[in-house]
Structure 1
């Protein structure tokens, strides 16, 4: 399925049973609500999807189950976060075999590769697959930045098509547009900078709190796209305390707790993560419950 790099694409959480197996029924419950809200794609196995704890067979199961479940309604992408080029190429081939529409790719894990090594890594994977690739550029969390000069080289590969822009520098959206126009699509990847990035020209939003609040997230995107900025801003201002749960080391636990309270998820995480407890849990619960209590009435954003 071809990917249009636009709209809201949830970086979905991975659901686990009480015995630490994949919880496919709970996972599908959440995916259904995402589709009903009008999301434009699904991203599996990212940071929020607990990628570093997933076994290879679990990633493949998630991909196959999601592709079958969405049944062509939206594209399905799987994240690649590997330590070696060999491993990344193998992961890309498995994703292609399993029916994924595209890849989200982080730079090499653990080893802090130099610029040329990063370019070679992405280039080798791009040459090995027909799948379109979105490079996840998050130097804050992963300590490697893919610079404009590096993208200049990488864009020689036709299937490197988009960037998940998570540098936290809002002006980078403009820099990318100046240098590459529409050749490199921009999916903002920081929930607390989402509306700002969209207004500066980002094409879409790989979102986190969408996992618990899909309608509000898609409404913000559709409203700003339709030029209804004040309506989008009103929802975004309500949303911001919740969105801040995404820019936190315990974003997985935070967002899974929010999913529980909106009725579309479970709180199970995979060790070494633990569910929130004590004062930290109470603080996050307060934000979630206040958000739910003041949840805005959404306009008919699907028909703007």
Structure 2
């Protein structure tokens, strides 16, 4: 499966009552595609998966597929800390028409490396779809070591990993020791260019809701040998990327979307809206990236 350079971990739109607003999915998908997104992950961390019911997730998968209309792949975030419940939800996602599933490392349980391997292998064998692994130790309290990811890359339908360990050595080891067709994506926006420089295929991003086109330009410039120009974009984007995590995600990016004319509603408890100080940081960051797309790609 080809997901391109920039994959967006898409927010889940809510209405004023806090229910999922499925009518906003189409306009949001249109905006993301216009801003450089080549694939989306729905119902993941940025989509506030922890607060979505199973029924909401299934409908979100189905309506996101409809909103995409086959223009870009839709990957369902189906991972949970219960192996068999994850398998059940992943099977449901297949029925809902998604192009693949993303499975986060089990949180709270703190499984061993063998437990991680068996968890992902068990689910992958039950699902007739491409599987992306998701390693994010900052949220799960367990780091999937490169050796485990490398072993899992031999499972036929496990095609990719979103590596959000923030560890370039770990990313490099995975890239160097997995099959050529195994896709490695950074899960840390500010490491997009460094990760691509060591061989990553791209980024699964939050910031791409707003600056996806600039991120695309940066990656293309680097791959065309225009390293200094790519570095200049990276330097301009990093403060914005950091601002998208000034408060628990997705509060900052939903605010940024609103400020750029895209209504995706608020966040669900236990997340809360930005404070006035945080809002000012997001506004300033938006102003500073308004002129990033000035570098020719050819």
Where on the TM-score scale, by shorter chain, does this alignment land: which range?
over 0.9
* Alpha-carbon spacing, 1:5–1:111, altered in 2? closer, same or farther (3 Å): same
For residues 75-106 of structure 1, give each alpha carbon's deviation from its aligned partner in whole angstroms, at most 9, with x where no partner exists.
10011232311101101101100001011111
2:109 aligned with 1:111: yes
Aligned to 2:51: 53
1:291 corresponding residue in structure 2: 286
1:167 counterpart (156, 165, 168): 165
Of 216, 237, 240, 1:239 maps to: 237
Aligned counterpart, 2:128? 130
Offset, 1:290: 4.4
Q: CA deviation at 1:13?
A: 0.6
> d(CA) in 1 for partners of 2:30 and 2:242?
25
Is this contact kept in 1: 2:245–2:252, CA < 8 A? no
Report the alpha carbon displacement of residue 15 of structure 1 after superposing the two structures with TM: 0.8
CA distance in 1, matches of 2:146, 2:155: 15
Q: Deviations over 1:251-275 (max 9, x none)?
A: 2111111111111233411112111
Deviation string, structure 1 residues 226-282 (Cα, Å, up to 9, x no partner): 3332222222222111101344551211111111111123341111211112xxx32
Could you list the runs of 5+ residues in structure 1 that have no partner in the other structure? none
| Mapping of residues 196-235 of structure 1, within 5 Å | 196-235=194-233
Q: Does 1:156 align with 2:154?
A: yes
Cα separation, 2, equivalents of 1:73 and 1:299: 27
Structure 1 residues 248 and 121, CA gap change in structure 2 (3 angstroms): farther
Offset of 1:294 from its aligned partner?
5.0
Whether the 8 Å CA contact 2:256–2:286 is kept in 1: the answer is: no
TM-score by structure 2 length? 0.92
RMSD over aligned CA atoms reads 2.0
More divergent stretch after superposition (20-29 vs 54-63): 20-29
2:39 is the counterpart of 1:41: yes
Q: Answer yes or no: is the 8 Å Cα contact 2:136–2:143 preserved in 1.
A: yes
CA drift at 1:138: 1.3
CA contact (8 A) 1:5 1:187 kept: no
The Cα shift of 1:110 comes to: 2.3
Deviation of 1:43 (Å):
0.5
Pick closer, same or farther for the CA change 1:297–1:107 going to 2, 3 Å. Answer: closer
Q: Cα gap change, 1:15/1:109 in structure 2, threshold over 3 Å: closer, same or farther?
A: same
Matched, 1:102 2:97: no
Distance 1:204 1:65 in 2: 26
- Greater mean alpha carbon deviation, residues 246-255 or residues 117-126: 246-255
State the shift of 1:180 in Å. Answer: 1.6
Alpha carbons 2:16, 2:265 under 8 Å: kept: no
Give the aligned partner of residue 121 of structure 1.
Answer: 119
What are structure 2's unaligned runs of at least 5 residues?
none
Q: Residue 15 of structure 1: which of 13, 16, 31 is its match?
A: 13
Deviates more, 1:138-147 or 1:242-251: 242-251
SS of residue in 2 equivalent to 1:123 = helix
